[in-house]
Structures are given as structure tokens and as C-alpha cells.
Chain A
Amino acid sequence: MSQQKKKTTIILFSGDYDKAMAAYIIANGAAAYDHDVTIFHTFWGLNALRKDAHAPVQKGFLEKMFAKMMPRGADRMGLSRMNFAGIGPKLIKHVIKKHNAMPLPQLIDMAKEQGVKLVACQMTVDLLGLKPEELIDGIEFAGVAAYLADASEGNVNLFI
């Protein structure tokens, strides 16, 4: 069939549930298209990679503040529109169930299962005071050069 696999790279900058869901749906679709898929998480998008359980780590005051104010894990992320102080996500999850669509945490599991490469941007991990222990297993840490290496061969490159 194809000589070399096509590539899809997605930068997930947003920490919104809906935008992350779109990113992961595209990633799963691209994996089904037999693309090599990379999702590069930076800034608020890193929250999709946080474990939902509290991880005991040493942190300074500012880092603790950041950790408190950001959603711990994909399931706690808010919506980009109609968040209504947290009621919006509940409504969305209800309709996701009703329509038999996949909620974000399962989309992330499915992506891992399909071999999607999940990358955390090291610089913003440090900036937001996140520790590797707080992030889910099976991810890689990298910088802009690694992203560009993938993206420059990318057939689909998205920034979400």
C-alpha cells in the first residue's frame, strides 16, 4: 500500500474540554487513517495530561497556586463556550452519553491504544510548575525542535 506513513501533528494549546475533544477526535481519526499522529500539548493543553488523582510532589508557592487553579485532568476541564461555572461541562457530558459519543478521557485512552504519540512541552511544563509525576504515563517530553521535526513532514498540522 503506502510506502511511507503520512503524518498528522496537532498542537493542543487550549485547556477547554470541547477543543481538546475535537483535537482527540481528529487524532483518533488520523490514527485510523494509518497516519503517524503526534499531539503536542503546551500551556493549558497540558491539563489534559494531568492525572486526576493528587500526586505528592514538592512545590513552591506559585507552583501550588497554578496547580490549584488549573483543572486536574481531562475530565475536569471547562468548556470554551457556555461553561456556566461548571454546569456546561455536566450538560455536555450528558449529551455525549445520550448520543453515544466518546467522552474526552476515553478518547485519550483510545488515542494511546492506537499509538498516538502524546508529547508534553517541557518548557511550559516547567512554567506551569507541573511535575512528571502529576502527568499520565506513556507520554514524552520535548521542545519546539522535536515538534518541528514531526510537523515539517506532516500532511496535516493543526493548532487547537
Chain B
Amino acid sequence: MNVAKVLDAKGLSCPMPVVKTKKAMDELTSGQVLEVQTTDKGANSDLPAWAQASGHKVIDIKEENGILTFWIEKG
């Protein structure tokens, strides 16, 4: 997978992971992939919901040592 940008949102609480993801996504072009790392458990529901509503695609999700990592492709 070709990751264009990595966003470290670890330690941040709602609504910051989504706010930061949106900002990071604005800098990418269609088809590029953003990697988001977060420790916010709510992000499990939040980020996929946000991605779908914003026309992006969640390619993969991984959870390891309490860190949730999302790979989102810009729509």
C-alpha cells in the first residue's frame, strides 16, 4: 500500500481525531492514502462513518497495543 501521509492522532480525544483527519485529507488528492493512528476507542465508529459520509474509502483497520490504525483512500 502506498501511504501518502501519516497522521499521528494518538492521545487525542473526540472530536480531534476526526478534525485532524479531515485537515490532513484536505491536503491529499483523490486516490492517495492517509494513514491515521489513534488511541481514541470512539474512532472505531467515528472514522469509518466520517469517511463514508465524506466520500472516502477505509481500506484497512488494524488494532495493536491499544493503537488503532486506519488507512483511508481519498475519494
- When the two chains form the complex, which single residue of A31, A34, A101 contacts B14, counting CB atoms closer than 8 Å? A101
B61 within 8 A of partner (CB): no
* A100 touching B19, Cβ below 8 Å: no
- When the two chains form the complex, which single residue of B12, B15, B21, B53 contacts A25, counting CB atoms closer than 8 Å? B15
A66 within 8 A of partner (CB): no
- When the two chains form the complex, which single residue of B12, B22, B55 contacts A32, counting CB atoms closer than 8 Å? B22
* B53 touching A110, Cβ below 8 Å: no
Residues of A18-52 contacting chain B, CB below 8 A = 25-26, 28-29, 31-34
- How many residues of B are counted as interface, with CB atoms below 8 angstroms from the partner's CB atoms? 15
* A100 touching B13, Cβ below 8 Å: yes
* A1 touching B55, Cβ below 8 Å: yes
Closest Cβ of chain A to B68, distance in Å, is 15
A102 within 8 A of partner (CB): yes
Given contacts A1-B54, A1-B55, whether A32 and B13 have CB atoms under 8 Å apart is no
A58 within 8 A of partner (CB): no
Given contacts A1-B75, A28-B19, A110-B19, whether A33 and B13 have CB atoms under 8 Å apart is no
Q: Interface of B with A (CB < 8 Å)?
A: 11-16, 18-19, 21-22, 50, 53-55, 75
Q: Can you list 16 pairs linking A and B with CB atoms under 8 Å apart? A: A1-B55, A1-B75, A2-B55, A25-B14, A26-B15, A29-B18, A31-B19, A31-B22, A32-B19, A33-B18, A34-B22, A34-B54, A100-B12, A101-B13, A101-B14, A114-B19
